Amino acid sequence: MKARGLLSAMASCRCPRCRTGKVFYGHPYSFRRQRSNQVCAHCGLYFEVEPGYFYISMYISYGFAVFEALIAAFILYSLTHSESPWLYGFVLISIIILMAPINYRYSRIALLYMTPKIKYDPRYHIDD
Ligand SMILES: [Zn+2]
């Protein structure tokens, strides 16, 4: 039984304690099924550690969005050398909207993995 690595578990949105159970179900770009599970189906970890716990992930998501917009702005400027605010506004707002579901997921995952109360426990890990 080989344990899933930290980055692999984070990239595949797995539970931080067992690295086996999925934190989300459904596709990130599906409007109907973009939901996170309340409890890990594998180890029983309750993901929302305390009421309002995931509000902090909004700030992480904001940081992701700013970082992506800056990268996109640098790439856009290096490709076009344009100074039109309309071009930057349209492209950057489009990128922020398109990346919002991904930022939603990975900001929650980053928060879960940074929480000191939740540690990886190899006893819960089972390869699937
Ligand atoms: Zn778990």
Ligand 1 mean position to 16 CA, how many Å?
6
Residue 127: the pLDDT is 61
Give the tens place of pLDDT for each residue, 31-79: 676 788 899 999 999 999 899 999 999 999 999 999 999 999 999 999 9
Q: What is 7-46 written as a DSSP string?
A: HHHHHTTB-TTTS-SBSEES-TT-SSS-EE-SB-TTT--B
Ligand 1 geometric centre to CA of 75 (Å): 39
Residue 99 lies in a domain: yes
Domain that includes residue 71, residue range: 6-124
Q: Is 107 exposed, middle or buried (CB count within 10 Å of its CB: 0-12, 13-18, 19+)?
A: buried
Whole-number average pLDDT of the chain: 90
The neighbourhood of ligand 1, an ion, using CB within 5 A, equals: 15, 17-18, 21, 40, 42-43, 45
Residue with the bigger pLDDT between 3 and 60: it is: 60
Query: Which amino acid, residue 68?
Result: E
Number of domains in the chain: 1
Dist CA 128 CA 116 (whole Å): 26
| Residue 42: closest CA among 17, 59, 67 | 17
**Per the domain annotation, does 1 fall within a domain?**
no
